Structure 1
């Protein structure tokens, strides 16, 4: 009977764990924050907007220290546990405090509110080496070390979101912005990037960032940056970047039906099909245009198709297009998908 009672009391005294952040209250606080380990504690209120904004980052902190014995990441609902809040001088939410190993006296934490900021701070205090587990992303993350390298590169057009981790509008934009980055991942001269301008305020101030998210575009010929004032839907960004970068992307990373096409050679392709008796002269003319064009690979494919038609007959564009369609239905690299997509568009000019 005593064993059962002891087990029951142990269960009801155990903390509730949300991910790897321990929920503390007056019944267990002193059992956990007792000097045995370094403790980092958030005093929050459920109705507090700033607390809600901090929550995802704080969960990442808990995850970072999940397998490190010497560190406790915890939180207290100080609106319900007002005695604990008063005991530690909590007057606003969220309040972050830490307790060094060997001490039960709280010290104020006044650093940044990103997961990286907090983890870096704890590592320094507790002599640990935890790291925030980053979700996979296609968006280029900028910081002090690499901002100029990418943004000021005159060979690149760069779209930059200046955000704050606690910003609700930024969080809402994240999945849409990720789709934009995914769409342009195979365009090395069209970069989709972001900067935590709350954690890197010097850079944000340099570019006049006063609210979040602020989006700026840095084209190849203007590294002072231009304000982006368009819509915030994925399609808005894609339209903008296609216009500025001269690209032909559709959401997901594919190419639209105009990719690879060259107006002057489109006219010659249609003329080539209509005037069979003049094909030799038209092929020669196409060769001259291709030799001087700024997109020689695409231009030369028009010439190649004309040569194949003379060799194999007028059905070549149709049969070749079907072959490429079959290949594209399988597993091909992004570069090959782009190449074959452009070829299909060009072949289409010979079948109209």
Structure 2
């Protein structure tokens, strides 16, 4: 009789434990690969080419809803989207996206996806057409590890804020066509929004500084900003603006100097 009571008690405890797990919402959400995740763009054949353009870097997961490893990654990918959204230095430079490559198989085939999940980073500056334009990610599958890896990829891209059309105007500006170049840069900035506008406005501000302070300003200011950035002492709220300015100043400095 005592043994039977103990068995009943154990079964009751087990049932209670299972019920408590079922009632925790995050357990269900953690394995939902198709959940809408803040900071993560759902990509498919209709929007991939308009989102992953090369204007910014892009870190993309190709997944299948039935894939166990994809379900395990889902909560970390959700954390990654939130982390990038909260970090201005990442948000303005990289897009986080995911593709249901089981449904959109042509898109997966385009980038050589052969298993799930496949994680790829598409660097800024190239409009991707195949997996040759991507850097595969094979590191730890945690939000922190992926974010750190993305930062490493971005660290080498000092030209992230450069704009080809405005670089041409910078050349004209340095060649003596200051008025026309400044006017052109202002017109370009007026037609943009978001990060594109911020990048263009950096060109305008630097042109005005050169007019005010002289031709030596770009090289001296870029060197100064380089030292400050290397010190690691820049406040988070100033870091992205400083990096942007350092990047755009490169358009006004001779690399051989």
Q: TM-score range by the shorter chain?
A: 0.5 to 0.7
Q: Which residue of 2 aligns with 1:100?
A: 12
Q: Deviations over 1:177-232 (max 9, x none)?
A: 79986995533893356xxxxxxxxxxxxxxxxxxxxx526xxxxxx756534468
Q: Deviations over 1:113-135 (max 9, x none)?
A: xxxxx9553557xxxx98999xx
**Of Structure 1 and Structure 2, which has the larger fraction of its residues in helix?**
2
Does the CA-based 8 Å contact 1:161-1:216 persist in structure 2?
Answer: yes
Instruction: Work out the CA distance in 2 between the residues paired with 1:315 and 1:233.
Output: 53
1:143 to partner: Cα distance: 3.8
Instruction: Work out the CA distance in 1 between the residues paired with 2:117 and 2:217.
Output: 38
1:301 to partner: Cα distance: 1.1
Q: Which residue of 1 aligns with 2:250?
A: 348
Q: Which residue of 1 aligns with 2:35?
A: 147
Q: Which residue of 2 aligns with 1:330?
A: 232
Q: Which structure is higher in RCO with an 8 Å CA cutoff and minimum separation 6?
A: 2
Does the CA-based 8 Å contact 1:286-1:303 persist in structure 2?
Answer: yes
Does the CA-based 8 Å contact 2:62-2:116 persist in structure 1?
Answer: no
Does the CA-based 8 Å contact 1:216-1:225 persist in structure 2?
Answer: yes
Q: 1:36 to 1:173 in 2, by over 3 A?
A: closer
Q: 1:308 to 1:122 in 2, by over 3 A?
A: closer
**Contiguous gaps of at least 5 residues in structure 2:** 52-59, 129-146
Q: Which residue of 2 aligns with 1:310?
A: 211
Instruction: Work out the CA distance in 2 between the residues paired with 1:173 and 1:149.
Output: 13
Counting only pairs closer than 5 Å after superposition, residues 255-270 of structure 1 correspond to structure 2 as 256-270=157-171
Q: Secondary structure at the match of 1:147?
A: coil
Instruction: Work out the CA distance in 1 between the residues paired with 2:61 and 2:241.
Output: 25
Q: Which residue of 1 aligns with 2:188?
A: 289
TM-score for the superposition, normalised by structure 1: 0.41
1:323 to partner: Cα distance: 3.0
Does the CA-based 8 Å contact 2:30-2:71 persist in structure 1?
Answer: no
**How many pairs were matched up?**
202
Q: 1:173 to 1:346 in 2, by over 3 A?
A: same
Q: Secondary structure at the match of 2:91?
A: coil
Q: Which has the larger radius of gyration?
A: 1
Question: Alpha carbon RMSD of aligned pairs, Å?
Answer: 5.3
**Of Structure 1 and Structure 2, which has the larger fraction of its residues in strand?**
1
**Contiguous gaps of at least 5 residues in structure 1:** 1-30, 40-98, 102-106, 110-117, 134-139, 194-214, 218-223
1:260 to partner: Cα distance: 1.5
Q: 1:216 and 2:100 equivalent?
A: yes
